[in-house]
């Protein structure tokens, strides 16, 4: 799955079209993507020779072991057998996109 950074939205690329250069213009890329959080559709236009930011997403599964006093999650990677803990993921607060998840975890 290829992901494109569309300003404040992170979109999964669904379609890429390339227009031909016109009499007075350059060729353009029309990139269509679907936001991974809201499912809204976005279209970005780039010049053919421009480089845009994209990245590939990976799926990792963690187990919540604890919630620290300063509202960080203590997570253990269940795919690795070395049992390393992550404590750098903040619990969603009331201003985040999924504030309900933070309330249910507390």
Neighbours of 47 (CB within 10 A): 12
pTM confidence score:
0.48
Quick one: how far is CA 61 from the chain centroid?
16
What tokens were used for 16? 């890429």
Residue 71: per-residue pLDDT: 81
Q: How many residues does the chain have?
A: 106
C-alpha to C-alpha distance for 93 and 64, rounded to whole angstroms: 17
Residue owning tokens 């979109």: 11
Please tell me whether residue 63 adopts helix, strand or coil conformation.
Answer: strand
Q: What is the mean pLDDT of each run of 10 residues along the chain (106 residues)?
A: 69 86 82 85 80 70 82 78 76 74 71
Q: Which residue from 40, 53, 44, 66 is spatially nearest to 2, judged by alpha carbons? A: 53
Domains of the chain, start order: 2-56 (2.30.30.30), 62-105 (no CATH)
């Amino acid at each position: 799955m290829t992901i494109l950074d569309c300003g404040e939205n992170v979109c999964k690329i669904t379609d890429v079209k390339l227009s031909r250069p016109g009499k007075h213009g350059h060729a353009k890329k029309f990139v269509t993507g679907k936001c991974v959080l809201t499912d809204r559709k976005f279209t970005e236009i780039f010049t053919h020779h421009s480089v845009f930011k994209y990245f590939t997403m990976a799926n990792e599964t963690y187990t919540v072991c604890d919630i620290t006093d300063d509202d960080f999650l203590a997570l253990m990677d269940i795919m690795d057998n070395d049992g390393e803990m992550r404590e750098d993921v903040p619990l969603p607060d009331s201003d985040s996109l999924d504030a309900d998840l933070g309330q249910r975890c507390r």
